[in-house]
Amino acid sequence: MSGAGFLLDLHRCVGCGACVLACRIENDRAELAAWRRVLPLNLRRHPGGPTYFLSVACHHCEQPACLKGCPSGAYEKRADGIVVHREERCLGCRYCEMTCPFGTPRYDAARGVISKCHLCAPRVDAGRLPACVAACPTEALRLVTASTPPTGEATVRVPGFTDPASCRPSLAFLAPAGMRRAGLFRSLEEGLKR
Amino acid sequence: MPPLRTVRTVCPRNCYCTCGMLVTLDEHDRIRSIDGDPENPATGGHVCLKGLSYARRVTCADRLLTPLRRKPSGAGFDRVGWDEALGEIAARLTRVRDAHGPQAVLYYEGSGSHGALGALSMAFWRQFGGCTATYGDLCWPAGLEATRLTYGDNRHNHPALTVQSRFILLWGHNPAETNVHQWRLILDAQARGARVVVVDPRQTDSTDAADVHLQPRPGTDAALALGLARLIVEAGLHDAAFLGAHAHGFEEYRQRLDAFPIDRVSAITGLESESIRALALEYARTKPALLIAGFGLQRHSRAGQTMRTVALLPALTGNVGVAGGGWQYANLASHCLRPLPLPPEPPASRAFPVSQVARHLETLDAPPIRAAWIERGNPASQNPAAPRLRAALSRLGLLVVVDQFMTPTAELAHYVLPAKTLFEEEDLVTAYWHPYLQWRAKVLAPPGDVRPESDIWRAMCERLGFDTRYFPADRETLLRGLLPEDCACTLEDLKARPLDLSGHGDVAFADRRFPTPSGQVEFSSDEAAALWGVDPVPDYVPLDEGADAPARARYPLQLLSCKTRDRIHSQFGNLDWVREVERPHVLDIHPDDAKARGIADGSRAAVWNDRGRIELVARVTPGLRPGVVHMLEGWCHAGDPDVNALTAEGITDMNHGATFYECLVEVARA
Amino acid sequence: MSARTGHGSLVTFTGLAIAGAGLVAASAYFGLIHGLPSAWTMVAGTGLMAAGLIISLGHLGQMRRAALAARGAGRSALSNEALLAALALGAAAMAAAVGLSGSDAPFAVAAAGAANAAFLVSIGLVYRLPGQLTWQGFSAVTPLTGGLAFGAITAQAAVASGDVYLATLLFIGIDALLFSQRWRAIAGMAFSERMLADPWHVRRTPLLAARFFLLDVVPFFMLAGVASPLAIPVAAAGLALDRFGFYALALQHTTEREIEETEARITAAGRAAPG
């Protein structure tokens, strides 16, 4: 992870969705599809695995599939790593919806254009945190930048999150702990490597 | 860029957090952001998803904006003006009173919105001649009383001190869902090496993160607490010095412990002896240790005595009056306001326990209830025996409901009056976790024809020719007068930041002064026996509808109906933003119980007992213990099953609480 | 899988474009190699392609910005396809015009053939995306092989006066071989909950089989029995089913799907480990 992105502490995230609502408010998306979503893993607490939550929006990948595939060049990757979508260049062809392996871009049918999380670039440029990060009540979701990279224990590959190899998403995780959860997480992680 | 304005206010929900909030609006009064108020030391810079959802709630299309009157056909409502609505209501109330007496009218207020101005309704009812009201509380009163009997007062350490704990025991408490700020502090403590242990019959978001989780049978906690105490005393780990100076009745208590050897406790609770022993030793040895009990621990008929057994453990181990330690249940330090000036209480006032509304509507006599006014609550969904309650409300000659949305209670009304939201009237708001009193600024004008309840009551007083001096036009003056007499601060100070006016320090009982009859921590309480007729030394008594009840032959499953962060009871659940992220509406059932009944995951199940029957989708949940089923409370939209078709109108052994978790059921494929 | 609304227009325009380009490429082959007249089949192919490309504009959320599609040439497979579509249409129109005027212009025909074949390849490349589980491997070449099969069946029937050329049978055979690889790959995928809930994934075998039979097997035997003109509507139906099945059986990998697979592993792990 070399540029701006998110760090999600899986131990602290309780899957509440405050990040989703904060994004809706900040980006004026009351009626439209939310840019962020929260995905539970093993909510029924099957003993074969851990339970935790993935809060995901755009991962501002190092090699963004959306940018590569966009015919009209509507995507740009800024020097700080944020991948922005320029609405005025968007054809509404929805190819990026197909190329992104994470399900990030959102198509607004009424306006015929795509939109996605821009890491609250206007707030970040003004020295503030993205709305989702600021709102997280357990401080599980954090902003990372080139100058404030994730800590040593962070990992980019966790069970439940798409293999980051193809696009190198700028999303890192801190593993969950807990009586059952830590061991189950490690077993599941081992299973991934096989 | 046109200027934005930011207003400091507070969330008045029935919730531990009572978050300080900063609301930023643009020049069109649209909410541009909702943030936590960093000036509140307990809630700091965050609100929860519900606080954020206010941006949707206040402008939601479902919001009621005008008074409504039931159509003559009975199906649906007509919009009417305030004059017409209040004129008719006033006339009808007067007719009921003149024919049957003021007690024929029930005034019911729920916990839906906190604030000092809520008491203004009594300015009307007292001049009306009285009414029938409720006493007690659906939620926490047994635990409040248990704490008061034990320590003399409901106060606990400042939340910020949580991070100094080395051992945090959560008992019947799920702060990852119900107190997210406390949860953040617990995680911070854990990150510094504190051990987190949870006692809960279910696996929850809190137990996922815990270092140890004990899953006892519901309702057996008193046995566990007494068993832990016995192990602690046997090991000599109790704080003899503290007990010698500050315990009253310790010898009688110690004799009670003889009845709780570990084998018996293991059999009663369903826990492994080794787990029980490990918890006892670790809790007693790790200092400082914090014990936080949730309200879920006391939602049954043996609530008060159960809470006493658990509340005594911090005193037993010398964790009282210590930073990072203590007993934590509720903190009433901010409840220091003077009462609102009101007319004198008339002699003809009557009241009944709030956990038994259906029964009293059905059976009260001399006079029976003929009319009701309900505000800030949704009893038709949320109270025990809800279907009988709905039927009884439907039989009334007059029902007035004040609410923001068309709830199941409002649907039964003859008149629905549109309620304000938190942003639309100023008030003073107390809390029950942190010690801060907070000013709730008026952020927005009420939309449409909405009027705050205080204006509704003023108008009602005017119509009946009552004295309206209790309703000054200037709320600030009225509220300023409620600040404590010896208070050094002004209202302006309070508008600038939340304030702790209690005069207590951050560490509760640091001075070891306990306002009990003996001046000490009461391990044996004569007051308890005198007031409530219970054993002066707390004991484990099996529930009537509990793990070992004979009724289990017919209804073998214990039903819990717990809380979720998605809602405060039935509030917020109608918002699309919340429904997008909320937990599914399912019945959680253990794989063994499901298999025995041929219930497949995702299939429809019926749940019933003598009191009622509901149907909903089943989710096979290994995280439960066998013999326990669970569904969330607070669903109240079309098609949602109502758990309160199954709950009983029981009453707690002390202080008039409800018994929601004492509920046996059977489940089968639907 | 991607829940695409407007899936219908994708099927239509890609179907028309592939049918048209395949017809042009096959006409070029028969024209250059076997000396058959190709003007009218070029016109038909051009017409089909033009219709497809016009409809594709309607699929865009911002039709008036369509010209921007060229900006990603070299980087974006979709941009490349858009440019090749324009080139192929132009070359086909030119070859059609030249052919209609009566002149013999092998270079125009060859250019049209090459451009349209390249266009068919570029369509396949658009969809060969790491996150698309059922568009991998041989699925990338089926626009080319299917287009050529359809084109050959149609061109032959239109101009060969009942003769059956080995090339046609070979085009059909190659398409059958490569499409069967796509079929095998999809049939080998275990059903996830999401797939079980999808009305087309649960019918994947009949959908794939119908395409195989209608575009390959039936026309092959019809041509073997010299009933060539009837093979055209059969092959057209097969091509339409190819396109419909391509989108209906899409399976996009998203984080939601990753979670679903992980939960299946958890449940399996739980069954394996006792207690």
- Return the pLDDT at B278: 98
Q: Give residue-wise pLDDT tens across range B298-320.
A: 999 999 999 999 999 999 999 99
Domains of chain A, with CATH numbers?
A: 5-189 (3.30.70.20)
Q: Are B262 and B227 in contact (CB under 8 A)?
A: yes
Write the DSSP assignment of B327-362 as a string of letters. Answer: EES---TT--PPPPP-PPPPTT-EEEEGGGHHHHHH
Which residues, 6 or more positions from C59, have their beta carbon under 8 angstroms from its beta carbon?
Answer: A93, C6, C9, C10, C13
- Return the pLDDT at C3: 43
DSSP 8-state class, residue B600: P
B513 touches chain A (CB under 8 A): no
Q: Are B360 and B384 in contact (CB under 8 A)?
A: no
- Return the pLDDT at C227: 59
Report the percentage of chain B scoring pLDDT > 90: 96
Q: Which of A72, A99, A187 lies nearest to residue C71, judging by beta carbons?
A: A72
> C3 or B583: which carries more pLDDT confidence?
B583
C77 touches chain A (CB under 8 A): yes
pLDDT band at B428 (very low <50, low <70, confident <90, very high): very high
A156-170, B644-658, C173-187, C238-252: least confidently modelled range: A156-170
Kindly identify which residue of chain B lies nearest to residue A28, measuring between CA atoms.
Answer: B32
pLDDT band at C273 (very low <50, low <70, confident <90, very high): very low
Cβ within 8 Å, pair A188-C273: no
Q: Give residue-wise pLDDT tens across range B75-134.
A: 999 999 999 999 999 999 999 999 999 999 999 999 999 999 999 999 999 999 999 999
Kindly state the average pLDDT of the residues A27-46: 95
Best to test chain A binding among B208, B279, B583, B587 (most A CBs inside 10 Å): B208
| pLDDT at position C183 over 90 | yes
- Return the pLDDT at C36: 83
Q: Give residue-wise pLDDT tens across range B162-217.
A: 999 999 999 999 999 999 999 999 999 999 999 999 999 999 999 999 999 999 99
- Return the pLDDT at C274: 43
Cβ within 8 Å, pair B35-A134: yes
Q: Give residue-wise pLDDT tens across range C202-212.
A: 999 999 999 99
**Segment of A181-190, B506-515, C30-39 carrying the highest mean pLDDT:** B506-515
Best to test chain B binding among A11, A14, A28 (most B CBs inside 10 Å): A14
Kindly state the average pLDDT of the residues C241-268: 91
pLDDT band at C213 (very low <50, low <70, confident <90, very high): very high
Cβ within 8 Å, pair B209-A181: yes
A60-74, A118-132, A143-157, B40-54: least confidently modelled range: A143-157
Domains of chain C, with CATH numbers?
A: 7-272 (1.20.1630.10)
Cα–Cα distance measured from residue B299 to residue B556, given in angstroms and rounded to the nearest whole number: 19
DSSP 8-state class, residue A114: E
Computed over every residue of chain C, the mean pLDDT equals: 89
Q: Give residue-wise pLDDT tens across range C83-100.
A: 999 999 999 999 999 988
Number of CB atoms found within 10 A of residue B273's CB: 15
> C3 or B282: which carries more pLDDT confidence?
B282
Write the DSSP assignment of B634-663 as a string of letters. Answer: ---STT---GGGT------SSSS---TT--
pLDDT band at A90 (very low <50, low <70, confident <90, very high): very high
- Return the pLDDT at C226: 66
Residues of chain A contacting residue B582, judged by C-beta atoms under 8 Å apart: 17
Which chains does A contact via 3+ CB–CB distances below 8 A? B, C
B10-14, B468-472, C156-160: least confidently modelled range: C156-160
- Return the pLDDT at B637: 82
A168 touches chain C (CB under 8 A): no
CB pairs under 8 A between A and C: 145
Q: Are B189 and B165 in contact (CB under 8 A)?
A: yes
Cβ within 8 Å, pair B208-A52: yes
| pLDDT at position A103 over 70 | yes
Which residues, 6 or more positions from B30, have their beta carbon under 8 angstroms from its beta carbon?
Answer: none
| pLDDT at position C184 over 90 | yes
Kindly state the average pLDDT of the residues B345-370: 95
Cβ within 8 Å, pair A72-C273: no
**Closest Cα of chain A to B32: distance in Å?**
7
B361 touches chain A (CB under 8 A): no
ipTM: 0.96
- Return the pLDDT at A1: 78
**Class of the domain covering B68-135+341-425+447-490:** alpha beta
- For Cα atoms C123, C126, C129, give the angle at the middle one, nearest 5 degrees: 140
According to DSSP, the residues that pair with B8 across neighbouring strands are B22
**Class of the domain covering B5-57:** alpha beta
Cβ within 8 Å, pair C266-A68: no
- Return the pLDDT at C6: 52
Spell out the domain ranges in chain B: 5-57, 68-135+341-425+447-490, 141-332+506-532, 550-669
Structural fold of domain B141-332+506-532: Dimethylsulfoxide Reductase; domain 2 (3.40.228)
DSSP 8-state class, residue B568: B
C225 touches chain A (CB under 8 A): no
| 0.90 exceeded by pTM | yes
Which chains does C contact via 3+ CB–CB distances below 8 A? A
Kindly state the average pLDDT of the residues C34-57: 90
pLDDT band at C269 (very low <50, low <70, confident <90, very high): confident
- Return the pLDDT at A194: 64
C129 touches chain A (CB under 8 A): yes
Kindly state the average pLDDT of the residues A167-184: 91
First-residue to last-residue Cα distance in chain B: 59
Cα–Cα distance measured from residue C85 to residue C49, given in angstroms and rounded to the nearest whole number: 8
The correct answer on CATH 2.60.40.10 for the domain covering B550-669 is no
Residues of chain C contacting residue A52, judged by C-beta atoms under 8 Å apart: none
A127 touches chain C (CB under 8 A): no
